[in-house]
A and B are shown apart, each in its own frame.
Chain A
């Protein structure tokens, strides 16, 4: 059956091949394992890109396939980052505390207090809040990476889908969720250092290797997660489950009359993609080094939708292409290495104007290339779409339009 699945989804093999070539290529051009043609910061940018590709896959599952335009998936991404960040920060601070104590013996209580002072001194506190109870326990925090965002998505989704909130109202609700979470975390009382966030996450406790090597290890971990995520997502969308969720996207009332519990399916996909987003976040932030509540601002989740739209929703490689393309181009533009464009009367500084360019690209793609960047692959393959004279493929708000469907 495995060969049948790959034969029917040639894009999976191509994707895994490209991902492997990319990862190996970067590794052997890096400082750690090669001549150093790619700087360590560039390796980190590429590793982070892979994590963003993973959350884009999650977004494509929930929006492109199921038709739920969630504008809150970065909340789960950020929460995943916070959960792993707590362990990273706690363990590293403990190392520092123990080192500074030297030969002087400390009781566990004293160690704990010293860690609390170290971490929370910046917000004028010294006690470790209750949510840090398991911060020193890596398996527990790894479990929380999946559990905390998963539970939040489950409860939020249950409330929203049960009342049959759909379309733009659901999008607004998800925006409200990510905004509320972000505002809550901005408060010092929330126990996660308020607007300072968690920092120093690039240092992995107990690992003596330098950032050159660490960056490559994280690149590999991110590539592995992305590869597995891609395979899992392809398996989900290729079978009958995929049929049902695409049915929900195009005409959810019809799916109900076939006997499928639409709410149950939506909740399933919403929670699953929240967990995928959280895993992506847990891999992203150790490479970014810092996380603060600003990462969960409503705009972040909107960008996610833009990436998927630019790449082409409703196909997994489209989501990956969109996220990779936009993030790499944006890093390039905002990195200050692009020469300014003098117009005589005005000089275009790309760091500021890049977002205008992105917005324009989004509008243009929506208007003229609804299949996005991945439409280029169709062009290459010579795939033509049937002409249905512009009729939409379903009555629901998230449904596919003819221009997006492929033969």
Chain B
């Protein structure tokens, strides 16, 4: 029923990033980068430090404006570059930061309640009361990320790994269509990593998930398409075995 889709994009594209470039003080952090992801796809983004992984996420979430290029979203091809961070988040893009950023002065419940999908306007929030459905949803998410018995605790008291989980839980509570996950496994134990992998693979069944990760073992377990970034543009794309066999990838990333 919709027609205004660019040739080649197809209705299977949720996020279409094309030809974006951004430079900071003359340094080109992103250089003519293009990237597509479908509505139910798991994608790993790897690359050496300074390859532009975080800047890429900053651009998609509206934190950084690119100098050129376009970022289109969804079936109606909404131009994300015209929206601010809050609107992009409301449209359905959730982000988990590299360093766990939760509200340390607030309880796990408060953190999750705040993230829960609901009307975000100040007036609506002022009159908002947690209903039974909201409480049940928070408990469900907490159970999913293994924090069921931590709900009344201040999140500042949680361990590093638990904070990571809480942030993933907040991401789930937002019910985004696209999840941008920056180094989810950092600071986690082996068992926790496996749990994270399972969760991400499971989520990708009905969400688009982009994972930025350094840890090759972790990426291997995700068993998905991999995009290798280098100096702000895509160096290679394909299965992990395919990209690790690529000479240029070995040269810039794996060989060192």
Would B125 and A244 count as touching, CB distance under 8 A?
yes
Would A265 and B156 count as touching, CB distance under 8 A?
no
Of B24-32, B114-122, B245-253, the one contacting chain A is B114-122
CB of B82 within 8 Å of the partner chain: no
Partner of A259, one of B63, B89, B154: B89
CB of B227 within 8 Å of the partner chain: no
Chain A interfacial residues counted at CB < 8 A? 30
Please report which residues of chain A, range 1-19, place their CB below 8 angstroms from some CB of chain B when the two chains form the complex.
Answer: 1
Would B104 and A243 count as touching, CB distance under 8 A?
no
Would A256 and B85 count as touching, CB distance under 8 A?
yes
Partner of B157, one of A250, A265, A386: A386
Q: Which residue of B lies closest to A249 (CB)?
A: B105
Chain B interfacial residues counted at CB < 8 A? 33
Of A203-211, A234-242, A298-306, A353-361, the one contacting chain B is A234-242
Would B86 and A259 count as touching, CB distance under 8 A?
yes
Q: A310 → chain B, closest Cβ, in Å?
A: 21
Would B95 and A240 count as touching, CB distance under 8 A?
no
Partner of B120, one of A239, A260, A388: A260
Please report which residues of chain A, range 224-276, place their CB below 8 angstroms from some CB of chain B when the two chains form the complex.
Answer: 236, 239-241, 243-244, 246-247, 250-251, 253-254, 256-262, 264-265, 268
Provide the residues of chain A in CB contact with B126, threshold 8 Å: 236, 239, 241
* Given A253-B63, A258-B115, A258-B170, A393:B104 Cβ within 8 A: yes
Provide the residues of chain B in CB contact with A388, threshold 8 Å: 104, 156-157
Would B125 and A241 count as touching, CB distance under 8 A?
yes
Q: Mark A389-407, 1 if CB is under 8 A from B, else 0.
A: 0000110000010000101
Would A240 and B128 count as touching, CB distance under 8 A?
yes
A219 to B170, CA, bound (A): 47
* Given A250-B105, A393-B104, A393-B156, A241:B89 Cβ within 8 A: no
Provide the residues of chain B in CB contact with A393, threshold 8 Å: 104-105, 156
Interface centre among B103, B113, B174, by most chain A C-beta atoms within 10 angstroms, is B103
Provide the residues of chain B in CB contact with A247, threshold 8 Å: 103, 106, 114
Would B122 and A265 count as touching, CB distance under 8 A?
yes
Q: Mark B54-87, 1 if CB is under 8 A from A, else 0.
A: 0000000101000000000000000000001111
Would A405 and B61 count as touching, CB distance under 8 A?
no
Provide the residues of chain B in CB contact with A241, threshold 8 Å: 122, 125-126, 128
Would A264 and B114 count as touching, CB distance under 8 A?
no
CB of B194 within 8 Å of the partner chain: no
Listed A/B pairs (22) with beta-carbon separation below 8 Å: A1-B129, A239-B128, A243-B110, A243-B113, A246-B103, A246-B106, A247-B103, A247-B106, A251-B103, A253-B63, A256-B86, A258-B89, A258-B114, A258-B170, A259-B120, A265-B122, A386-B154, A393-B104, A394-B103, A394-B104, A394-B105, A405-B104
A-B pairs, 4 with minimum CB distance: A259-B89, A256-B85, A259-B90, A268-B122
For the A-B complex with A258-B170, A260-B120, A261-B120 known, give 8 more contacts whose Cβ atoms are closer than 8 Å.
A236-B126, A241-B125, A246-B103, A254-B101, A265-B122, A405-B154, A405-B156, A407-B154
Spell out B's residues near A (CB within 8 Å).
Answer: 61, 63, 84-87, 89-90, 94-95, 97, 101, 103-106, 110, 113-115, 120-122, 125-126, 128-130, 154, 156-157, 170, 174
